Amino acid sequence: MVLKAQREMTAAAYREWEARQEVKHEYIDGAIIEMSGGTGRHSKIAMNIVLALGRMIDLTRYVFHSSNMSVQINASRFVYPDLSIVRGSEFYEDDSELSLLNPVFVVEVTSPSSDTYDRVDKFGYYLEVPSIEAYLIIDQERVRADLCTRAGDGWFVRVYADAKAALPLNAIGCALPLAAVYRGISLE
């Protein structure tokens, strides 16, 4: 995923403009950041996660959102995680239902061009959202998952690099096998 900074505009102008765009754009403090499409590997990993979690969690209690749903970090930041999950009722910024306010779990699948942005900038943004209990960063180049979980007033980060590991996703009441994340993915 390549990030390309565009022009600057107000948050209100961004929300109106973004609703008419075919390509997604994140909004960070006035800057518009174009989000390019992912690779086949990126797409497969994201789908593997959705399929695995869909079989494990109670879908009457949790709602999945794809990378087409933005998450509002605050009044001046809107981002698009690869997957977000809400427990219970969804809350949106307004009636347009374009920006989610209350995910409990978000996932980013990194690419070489987005790795630092996902691990540093987006991690910092997700820290600001009080409803987020866990942030999962999946590497598409190697078996690696960074599970960031809220712990009281701070965050705990654990790195998993063994394909036999299962990630304890307490925020959504299950454990995700890393083998399921990388099923059918050829890694060198």
The pTM (predicted TM-score) of the whole model is 0.92
Domain limits of the chain?
38-181
For a pLDDT cut of 70, what percent of the chain falls above it? 96
What mean pLDDT is predicted for residues 29-50? Answer: 90
CATH homologous superfamily for 38-181? tt1808, chain A (3.90.1570.10)
Q: What is the 3-state secondary structure (H, E, C) of the chain?
A: CCEEEEEECCHHHHHHHHCCCCCCEEEECCEEEEECCCCHHHHHHHHHHHHHHHHHCCCCCEEEECCCCEEEEECCEEECCCEEEEECCCCECCCCCCEECCCCEEEEEECCCCHHHHHHHHHHHHHCCCCCCEEEEEECCCCCEEEEEEECCEEEEEEECCCCCEEEEHHHCEEEEHHHHCCCCCCC
What mean pLDDT is predicted for residues 15-33? Answer: 91
